[in-house]
Each structure stands twice: as C-alpha cells, then as structure tokens.
Structure 1
C-alpha cells in the first residue's frame, strides 16, 4: 500500500489562551490526528513536523508556520494537508486560490476534517467558495467593528495603544506624565522658540550631548539611547498629544491625559513651524537639485550640467557636458555619475577638515593656541555633518569643481570657509583656496567613472543592485544544487530566459574576497552586474578571478 504523508496545519487569530497547557491549537491538532488515524487503512500517516501559527490573522499568507508548510509542499515532502476547518488555512478567496494553485502544481491534496466536500466536481467547488466567502466576510466585518471601536474610544479621549510618546507612559486607557522625560520635551519647545530652526536645534543638542532617553516597550524592545534626529524633533514639536489632545484620522479630540506643554508655547511653536514650511514651499525644486549644479566644469572650462535618467522607477543623476556644435559624438561627451562626483568632493572636504593644522596653513591664518582650538572644534563639527549627509554647506564653500582626466580641482571660497570655521580675516588673506582630489576619469560605456589611484571606484554607498544579484545567484544555485528543479523549469517559474539564469548563477562562485569588496562597496569602478554577467569574467579559480578583476 502506498504511504500517504499527512501534515496538520493549525491557526488561532488571537494570543488569548495560548499560554494554557491545552489550548485551541492542541484541540485542532488532536481532531486532525484522530481523522488521519481513521484513514490508516488507506495508508495515511502523520508527519512529525508541527505547523502551528498562534496569534496570527487568516487574512494574510505571511505566517511563519504556513510558509514552512508551503516550502515542504514545494519540496515534495507532503501528500495531504489536513486542517480543522477551511478558515484555519485562510480567510481570503484570493489567497486560497494561490494555495490551491500551489497544491495542484505539486499534486498535494487538501482535507478539512469538520467540513465534508469534494472539490473534484462543480458542486464541491461551489460549496468551498461559499464557505470561504463567509469566512472572508466575517474577517472584514470584525475588522470594521474594531476600527469603529477605536474611533469611538479616541473620540472620548482614550489612549488606544501604540508607541507611547516621549514624556508619557501608558496607564490603562490613558497616559501618565514621566516628569524626567517631560522636562526634555518642554526644553525642546522652549529652545525651538528661541532658535526658530530645527537644524540649528539639532546641532545644539548634539554639541551638548543631549540624547533620547532610553525606554522599553511592553514587549521588552529597547528604544532611545541615541542622538535626536531632525525627524524626531519635527514630530515632537507638531504632536498635539503634548497639549492634552488625541489625534485620529484628521480629527482632534480632548484627551483624558494631562498636557505637558501650555497652549501659548504650543501656538508660538506651530506659528514658527508654519512660517518655515512656507519658506520651503517657495522653492520646491531644491529637493531635486543636484548638490553641485552650476559648479562643475571640464578641463577646458566648459560647464557640465546636471541631468538624470529614470530606469525601473529609479532616478540616476549625472553631470553631462553640452553637445558641441561640430565634431565629436554623443559617446565622446563627459557624463559623470553625480553620486560619485559628489562623494569625491565631500570626501576631500572631510579629509581637509580632519587635518585642521594643514587647513589653517593653507588659509594663511595665525597658528596660535586659541585659534587652533576653535578651528579644531568647528572643523570636527562640520566634518560630522558632512559625513551624516547634511551637505547644504558644501554649496556655500565650493565655488567650482574642475574635472580633469587625472585629478579633480576644488576651488573653495576662502572667506566663506573662514566664516564657517570662525577664523578672523586679515588683509593678506586669499579669496580662493584650491584642493586637489586625486581621482581619474575612466570611461565605462557612455558614462565616465571616477577611479582612485588604487583603481577602486569612488562611491557614496554600496551597489545595492549588485548585492541583490549575488543574493539571487545563491538562492537559485541552492535550488539547483539540491535537485529541486532544473534551469529550464526555474526559468519558466521565474518568467525569464534560461540563459540569464545560467549567467547569474555563476556569481554564486565568486571568491569571498570579491564578495567582501562588493558588500563594502570597494570593488573596482568597472565592476558591475553587466560586467559580471557577460563574457567570461567569473572563472572557476578564485585566483584567476582576482587577477582578471584587478584585485591582486
């Protein structure tokens, strides 16, 4: 007799009662196990694996135990999936259709022990769809009731859960003030009224070492213990909960908790926030503007304009030379990735700021002790801001960037730099200061890449598309090496060409040295997904790979 391997799946929507020695999941599993035992004469046998999802909704397929079950179904380890009721598996018609499609493809059957129906005929399928329709209807009605209950409770000023705002702690259906944290909130509001700028407020907090207080959620997750971000400060300053209100879907209600901020201070802060927002709205294009727009030139003094291209909803920015009226082709024009050029410029500025003594010598300032201490403090602060991507100051300091084949020259506004670093001017001070950035241009296709003298590309971040390609290669190779599928079957499943899978899978054999370079973003400039998936760059020998890719 053929052995029929059976797996039991159980689920409970809420966590209530799961701590009991015998809970709903145990009851479901016991009933399913008894049914499988009754079919022992047909060769049915229960697999030892447990697929239990406690406290998870049936409205989604993103459940750990269900995903393990589907993985074992795809691997051919299961013949029949047994559940107590259909709605234990899912409460969504669309999700059930996906599950049935998966089971049909792998020739796996589905049994509900308390609902007898036969899906091999039209009447059985109709019965099943009716059951699932009512299960989905029940889930949606329950969700609507919960949403209505939350709205009604908030209209009464009750706290309905979530992350507790800084300054308070949960106290049943209301909030209680934490005095120590409330003082920090009041301080933020008062400081903002005095300064009138969130960026300057954050810089002041960082200089004083003010941190977000450490707190713990109900589940034990730690929060705080880090510096305030601009986003956090904006959210605190605009949160009506601090004046005793509860906010819900555009409506504000009188809360049952005590206010931390008085109405006069709140009104002043909101007025200042509104005034600052109006100033930003008058120039909406600044957000999309490249950092060095209007400041980049080639060796001949010709300007490079900011441009961009979109591919697969991703925006790629470039600095591009203008077309010449005569001679040359489109491929001869300089076209530099904006991220690389901006990273090189910012990196050179940071290097200069990290060596304040050399910077003082170049500027021509007096090297007395008081000046050195002041410059070291301001230079360190500016370098930290540049590293954290607060780069608005770059446009004020940099007059022009001249891009050559062997180096980049930065022309800095010496007077502006003195002002930023609090260096007094003298009559012999130069108006401009030149910094050399030792990187060279290398053409890869239509674009020019910036390459350091060691051959490493200049990058502002890791090449995420290349990292994703490596992950895909390893995932595909794992399935192919286990004998789960073939290249042709995998191509049909993914809806792509089998030759592409063959080329990508080779990346699973890259040496650890090369993989480490990709994850750190330090691979050679011409080292990208296109280069790796074309030609024969991926040799079977790690030594040959390193030689071919210039890493030795």
Structure 2
C-alpha cells in the first residue's frame, strides 16, 4: 500500500487564547489527526511538520505557515492537505481558486473534515468545480466593474494611470505639465512640420544629441537617456493627450489636463502623417519591396544598396521578363570596385533577418535576459502578449516595426549580425530599458555566404537555402529528360548514338543525363519541392563525375533527401 503523506494546516484569526496550554489550534490539529488516523487503511499518514498560523486573517495568503506549506507542496513533500474547515485555508473565493490551481499543478488533494469536503472523491471534485465557477463569475464581474469605472472616469477626462506621456507627470487623477519636457515635445512637432519625414527627424535629433529625458517610474526605477526611435516619435506625434484629450478605445474625451501642443499644429501634423506610410522611404527601392535598403553593410563597413536585374524567361513575367532584387556593394554597383564586391539576393537576406528577429520576439524571456531587462512576474502576461504580436507583425514584413527596431545589418562571410536598438526592443516588449543598458544589441543570424557558379548565395549552415525557393525549372527539366531518354533506351527505340544525334549532343552527355533517372527518390522529391541545397544546380547535377550508385550515398553526397 502506498503511503499518503498528509499535512495538517490550522489557523486562528485572533491572538486571544493562544497562550493557553490547549488552544484552538491544538483542537483543530487533534481533530484533523484523528481523521487522518481513521483513514489509515487507505495509507494516510500525518506528517510531523506543524503548519499553524495563529492570530492571522484568512483574507490574505501572506501567512508564514501557509507559505511554508506551499513550499513543501512545490517540493513534492505533501499528497493531501487536511483542514478543520475550508475557511481555515482562506476566506476569499479568489484566493481559494488560486490555491486550488497550485494544488492541481502539484497533484495535491485537500480535505475539510467537518464539511465532508474531499477532493480525492468525485463528489468533492464536483463541489470544488462549483466553487471555482463562482470564483470565475466573481472575477468576471469585478473585471466588468473595473472596465466600466475606467470608461466612466476617462469620459470625465481623468488620467487612469500608467506611464505618463513625455511632457507630463501624474497629479492625482490628472496630469501636470513638466515644462522642460513639454518644450522638447513642442520642438519635435515643429521639427516634423519643418522636415516632413520621421526618419530624417530622428537623424536630426541624433545629430543634435537630443535624447529621451531620464524619467522615473512609480517604483523608482529610472529610464530614458537614449536616442529617440522612429516608433517613439510616431507615438508622440499621434498622441491626442498633447492637445488636452483623453483617448479611450475609438473615442476621445476632453481631459482635465492642459494641452502642450496647439490645435493648429496638431491638425497640420496629422494631415502630414496621413500622407506617409510609417517607416517607409518614398523611393523606388521601398516600392519594389527592398525592406532593408540603407541598413546593410558588409564586413568592411561598405554599404549595400538595393538594386535589381531583369532576365528574360520563356514563359513568365511582364513582357517575358522576371525581376530579381539584390543588395549590392555600393562601389560594385557604381563600377568603382576593384574586386567583385558583394551581391546578395534580397529575398534571402530579408528572410534570414525577419526569421531571426521574429524568433527572438517569440521567446521574450530569452530576449530580456540577453538585453539585461529585468523581468517582473506581474508583467509576464502583458510582455508575452506584446512580444508575440510584434513577432507576428515582423513575419508580415511590417516596414514600420522593422525599421524602428533594426539599427543596422552587417554581412560577414560566416554569419549575419543584426544590430537592434535597445529602446525600440524594450518598447515592443512593453517594458522600460535599464538606465545603464547598451544602446545597441547584436543578434547573430546563423547563415553563411557561398558561391553557386558565379552567384553569391546566402545559405543556412546545413547548406540549404535561407528563403523558400520555387522549384528550379532547369533541374526539373533535366530530370524529366533523364527519365524520357532512359525509357526510350530501355524500350530499344534508339541507341545512345542515335539519341545523341537526334538531340544534337555528344554521347557522353546522354550517358550523364540518363544516370539521373536512378537518383534517390528523396533527392527527386527535394528538387520538385524546391528544397535542394543552394550549391546544387542543373549543371552540377548533370556533370558530377563520380555519382554514387547507392541511394544512401547519393543523399550524403548531395546533402539532400536527409
């Protein structure tokens, strides 16, 4: 029979009578011990540890003995908790539901000996579920009250808490203007109207060494003192609080606070913003989809600019042409490079960058640890929600987010380094960066450059293409030809010499192509799906001198079908 470890918990709200030799706690423990003894046939055994909370209210979970009991539960030292009455554990239905969740996670049951409440039985679990349903109902009603309270308060123009916008500090249920910061906000609006471009405005602020002011949160933690990001500038320019209004969902209400920005300046700013797409340069490279234009350099520090080339095809594209985008060394593009320079397919480096960045935001805890941003448990749900929403927008290739977060990209022969702005990363995690944090975070992307013929490709470390490529038409055509020729030879319709003469090729070429009819099926599947290794093309496939006969050796030789 398995031994069932039973922990007896007792509590008394007042100190009265605790000095007596036999008090209420002793009576509760004795009754519980007797009940445990009555269940000895089931293997129940009372633990010697004493969990007594004397003179402590049941309205809080912050009780020494209860916390010690929860610690022992987490350590796997307890199987069943025995109490005199349920209210000895807690008088709060919400706290009760929290405790039940902890018990469930640890696989622990509890018993109230005077109320026939036993979660080791089906009836006890039914009763528990009914109580938890009421707890959930209470939570939802409370949440509705809070939402209604917030909506009513904002309708009256009240500030309902949170991090105040730059230029204000909290003053009860309203906001008080911080004059030096307000002047900075007014300057940002005026500069934007003068320049008309957020990216250039950020460059201007950085050139003038105008950074975000150092401010303090309610818990005393300082933040700020870093360069403005484009995301921060957009947030300032679009915030109606600066014209004395309080936003709530899709509505705005007249606020109790004073405005910082004049209404005419605000209207002019919104009109100008409406004519621009955030984070997108109004140039042809952006129109053609070059998301990273102006951000990429090679390992020597030379800029890679967005370029494209049109190639004629027999059956696709406008006017029989397909447009290919690249990022090319500036000197090579202008014909001033002494060497070959760097020329990377745009789709490959954009895909590698987007996937690496999205993967980082998919794991916000690792990202925060990497950046040194402290993680507060109450903020975890909000951080995870914001981070995953950011990852989703990155995968949708949102230019606003990409250009707000990425400071630069350095292409090395063996990896790609993505430099991120700390302030923007923190903003898209809904947290504040540490005051002593670096302004730049480097994210390593495990890809490398390799040559396929005369082309420079960006591939994963296993040699596969970074971007999901469409099937290679020339390779598929070669495989079709191999099976067609082998079928003709097998049926005795032609000889190798006759086939070579009919196709206008030499006999050795026919022999090389026919070998491909015996490729491993897994390799053929990879070619048809476009999953071939980036260094393999139709020419290498056909002219491989020592093609293995074994399918297993073929997959190892080409690095495909594995």
TM-score where L is the length of structure 2 = 0.46
